[in-house]
Amino acid sequence: MSAWQVSDAHIVLLAAGSHPTYTNAVDLDELNRRAKVLFDANQKSLQARYGDEPSDRTPRAVVHGDIAWVQGLPAVVVLKQANCYAYQACEFDGWEKSEARRIVETVKANAINRLPGYDDAPWGIDEPTHTVMRLV
């Protein structure tokens, strides 16, 4: 397995994607804190994998426009970026219980809720129906 440092744009996408899409109340300080958590976890992964020295820089700041930009992306793109990041950042001990992993899981949950057809799909199935079969 190989790992690399994802771009600042990738980090910002995930931090912005961790914001729920159903509200406009944005705490940019919190999103920037999450961006730093994600960046640091990626650095830890590279250090664990290759012995790289951690960078002393911080990722580009998340701004209001990033929320709209990420929300405008197809959900499948956001999901793939979350999986890509997780692959790059999972090499250090503690990844499974890390805040970075929890942020990625939040990004995935937010993106899944935006998938086409998600809102129309039933919440629970008692028996097979034609409606469910048409959705599949």
Cα separation, 40 vs 33, in Å, equals 11
The pLDDT confidence band at residue 29, using thresholds 50, 70 and 90, is: very high
Task: Answer yes or no: is pLDDT of 133 > 70.
Answer: no
Cα separation, 106 vs 86, in Å, equals 12
The pLDDT confidence band at residue 40, using thresholds 50, 70 and 90, is: very high
Write down the domain spans for the chain: 8-135
* Cβ pair 64, 26 in contact under 8 A: yes
Task: Answer yes or no: is pLDDT of 122 > 90.
Answer: no
Of 86, 96, 92, 110, which Cα lies nearest the Cα of 38?
86
Number of H helices, E strands in the chain: 6, 0
**Tens of pLDDT, residues 92-119:** 999 999 999 999 999 999 999 999 999 9
Calculate what percentage of the chain has a pLDDT beyond 90. 72
- Note the residue count of the chain: 136
The pLDDT confidence band at residue 130, using thresholds 50, 70 and 90, is: low
